Amino acid sequence: MASVIIRPCRFNECAAVLSLWKEAEVTPSINDNIKELKRLVQENGELFLVAEHDRQLIGTVVGGWDGWRGNIYRLAVLPEYRRQDIGTALIREAERRLLAKGAKRLSILVEHEDALATSFWDSLKDKGYERDPRMGRYVKTL
C-alpha cells in the first residue's frame, strides 16, 4: 500500500493505539494503558512504530533493544488492512532501526495458539525468520 507511512508513535496517539490493539484482537497485557504507552513513547520512542494511512493508525510494532539483542513485540494490523504488506513494512522498519542500534539477532514472541500470527511469521521464512523449537517462555508479573 503506497500511501502508508511508518513512523514513531506520538503521545497523543496512545489511546488510538489501545483501540487499534483491541480491534486487532491483540491479547491484552498488564501494560495496556495510557500511562505505560506514554512512558514507552518517551523512553523508547524511536522503536514504538505505527503505520498510518489517510491520517488513521492502521498498525503498530514495538521494537526492544537490551544492548545485545533486538526484540519485536505488538505487531498488529487492523483486520481490513491485513494482507497488504503493512505488517511486513512495520517489521522492515523495526529491523532497520534495531540494526542501527547494533542488533545482530532478533527475537519475536508469538502465541502458539494464534494461527494468524504464526502463519504471518512462517510466511517470512524466506526473509530469515524461523521458529526456534528449543525455546519456551517463562513470565513473572511484578
Say what the pLDDT of residue 109 is: 86
- Burial per residue of 90-120, b for 16 or more beta-carbon CB atoms within 10 angstroms, e otherwise: bbebbbebbeeeebeebebebeeeeeebeeb
Classify burial at 5, counting beta carbons within 10 Å of its beta carbon; exposed 0-12, middle 13-18, buried 19 or more: exposed
**Tens digit of pLDDT for each residue in 116-138?**
899 999 999 999 999 888 887 77
Is pLDDT of 1 > 70?
no
106 lies in some domain: yes
Residues 35-52 have a mean pLDDT of: 95
Domain extent, residue 45, equals: 4-127
For 117-120, which contacts have Cβ atoms below 8 Å and span 24 or more sequence positions?
Answer: 117/75, 120/75, 120/87
Is pLDDT of 38 > 90?
yes
**Tens digit of pLDDT for each residue in 62-111?**
999 999 899 999 999 999 999 999 999 999 999 999 999 999 999 998 88
101: its cell numbers: 542500534
Residues 50-60 have a mean pLDDT of: 97
Q: What CATH number does the domain containing 48 carry? A: 3.40.630.30
Say what the pLDDT of residue 133 is: 86
33 lies in some domain: yes
142 lies in some domain: no
Say what the pLDDT of residue 73 is: 93
